């Protein structure tokens, strides 16, 4: 991992989050059981966070992961990156999570140079892949109790 990121991104992110936080989520939770609703809620929040990067040319991946976030056990998710591409990995957790963290590691589990964004139950980590291949993204519950979260990422 070499260089990171772009000053304009901060302004873009600020403006986007201001706009997003001022209005309700565009995607309402679908009718269904509680699990569906929790998934829709977490996904909507994760997409809101990741969507903030799209103004800076990041393309949002359609795929996502939804799962449990346990205070005693972090969730590690495998991704495959291309050298030179820039990525933001975003996660959003539902109540009762109060603070989460997202961190990126190489395939041997060593931390890589990265940026972070943290806002309570929303967090993101940004990297420029220095090599192509497998990387691991760890999502941890820093404060709060067991909850559910959604993970998405954007690239450019």
List the interface residues with another protein, window 17-76 (CB under 8 A): 17-18, 21, 54, 57, 59-65, 67, 74-76
Left (φ > 0), alpha (ψ -120 to 50) or beta: where does 133 sit? left
Helix (H) or strand (E) holding 124: strand 122-128
Angle among Cα 9, 15, 17 to the nearest 5 degrees reads: 95
> In this complex, which beta carbon is closest to another protein, that of residue 12 or of residue 38?
12
> In this complex, which beta carbon is closest to another protein, that of residue 30 or of residue 109?
109
DSSP codes of every residue in 58-98: PEEPS--EEEEEBTTB-EEEEEEE-TT-EEEEEEEE-TTEE
In the complex, the smallest distance separating the C-beta of residue 67 from another protein, rounded to whole angstroms, is 7
- Residues contributing to the site for another protein (CB under 8 A): 3-7, 9-11, 13-14, 17-18, 21, 54, 57, 59-65, 67, 74-85, 103, 105, 107-111, 113-120, 122-123, 125, 131-134, 136, 138, 151-153, 155-156
């Amino acid at each position: 991992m070499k260089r990171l990121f772009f000053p304009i991104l901060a302004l873009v992110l600020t403006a986007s989050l201001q706009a997003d936080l001022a209005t309700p989520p565009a995607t309402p939770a679908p009718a269904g059981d509680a699990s569906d609703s929790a998934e829709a809620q977490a996904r909507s929040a994760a997409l809101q966070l990741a969507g903030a990067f799209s103004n800076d040319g990041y393309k949002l991946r359609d795929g996502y992961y939804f799962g449990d976030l346990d205070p005693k056990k972090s969730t590690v998710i495998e991704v495959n990156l291309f050298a030179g591409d820039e990525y933001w990995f975003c996660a959003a957790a539902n109540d009762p999570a109060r603070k989460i963290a997202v961190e990126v590691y190489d395939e041997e589990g060593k931390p890589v140079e990265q940026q972070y964004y943290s806002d309570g139950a929303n967090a993101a980590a940004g990297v420029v892949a220095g090599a192509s291949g497998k990387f691991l993204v760890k999502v941890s519950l820093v404060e709060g109790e067991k909850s559910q979260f959604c993970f998405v990422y954007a690239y450019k």
